[in-house]
Amino acid sequence: MDLLVSTGWLESELGASDLRVIDSTLFLPGSGRNARREYEAEHIPGALFMDLDEIVDSDSPLPHMVPPQHKFASRMQSLGLADGQRLVVYDNSPLHSSARAWWMLRLFGAREVAILDGGLAKWKAEGRPLESGNPALRRGHFTARLDRAAVADKAFVAGALEEGGWEIADARPASRFAGEDPEPRPGLRPGHIPGSKCLPQSTLFDADNSWKRGDALGSAFADAGVDLGKPLVATCGSGITAAVLVFGAHLLGKEDVKLYDGSWSEWGADPDTPKATGRA
């Protein structure tokens, strides 16, 4: 499969024995929306629900940290996922959270993983079929192998700032990057990592929720001052929308990208990390 698949392609493939469709919708705290309930009310036929709020490292005080290998394998097996399947992820969230599901599945060794271009919003706008409820699941055999090299931690980011040579792109809205709006989680200082570039994840999409491609996508990075000739670290609030930047970079053929999993939830809470404000 391509990294992105169209709604038409997916509808034509529904029911294929090796295909699994995954709803990975996630919302920010305080949004007033419940992803699981919305999934149960309506989803693409046969789609499974991947709970990104639960598939985390429960021993970490930080939100959405990558879970241990055994936990990820167990959760994917309980969803009926198995080695060798084609996986298509989608969401119905302004966070474009399917990118996080794509990143985690790839991080743990799945290779045939694509995102549905336009997500559930485009699917519904085109009048394609929906169903409700929860499908019956049969446990699968999913082998998880964590690629630790794809994950950046706080020490790595601090080192990258000191040595230079890395681009750091922040996927949060410009007002949060600048420190003008409060963070949705308590206890965090406002602002951003010094030297990072503001690249709100929403700028990587067209008006119909489809991904920008080619020159238009490259221009989104360039307009934010991100030099894709350098290796890239993507960051955000808790590692969710940073995955949008990782996916966008992959669409442009860029592989030397890491995701800072702790993101501002870690950096902004640490009194010893340097912080900057303003839009420059």
Whether 198 sits among the annotated catalytic residues: the reply is: no
What does the pLDDT look like over 203-236, one tens digit per residue?
A: 999 999 999 999 999 999 999 999 999 999 999 9
Enter the tokens of residue 15. Answer: 């029911």
Mean per-residue pLDDT, 17-32: 94
The confidence band for 94, taking pLDDT boundaries of 50, 70 and 90, is very high
149-267 is a CATH 3.40.50.1950 domain: no
Identify any residues that bridge with 167 across adjacent strands, giving them in sequence order.
232
Tell me if 4-146 shares its fold with 149-267: yes
**Average model confidence (pLDDT) across the chain:** 96
Q: What is the CATH number of domain 4-146?
A: 3.40.250.10
Task: Collapse the DSSP code of 265 into the 3-class scheme (helix H, G, I; strand E, B; otherwise coil) and give the result.
Answer: helix
The pLDDT > 70 percentage for the chain reads 100
Tell me the pLDDT tens digit for each residue of 170-206. Answer: 999 999 999 999 888 888 999 999 999 999 999 999 9
> How confident is residue 29, by pLDDT bands cut at 50, 70 and 90?
confident
Decide: 172 and 240 in contact? Cβ < 8 Å: no
* Catalytic, out of 65, 120, 236, 242: 236
pLDDT at 55 over 80: yes
pLDDT average, residue stretch 235-244: 98
What are the sequence ranges of the domains in the chain? 4-146, 149-267
**If pLDDT is split at 50, 70 and 90, which confidence band does 61 have?**
very high
The confidence score (pLDDT) of residue 40 equals 98
State the pLDDT confidence band at 30, using cuts at 50, 70 and 90.
confident
Structure pTM? 0.97
Q: How large is the average pLDDT for residues 122-150?
A: 96
pLDDT at residue number 186: 87
pLDDT in the model for residue 1: 87
Q: Which of 95, 61, 84, 63 is nearest to 173 (CA)?
A: 95
CB 277 within 8 A of CB 178: yes
User: What per-residue confidence (pLDDT) applies to 280?
Assistant: 67
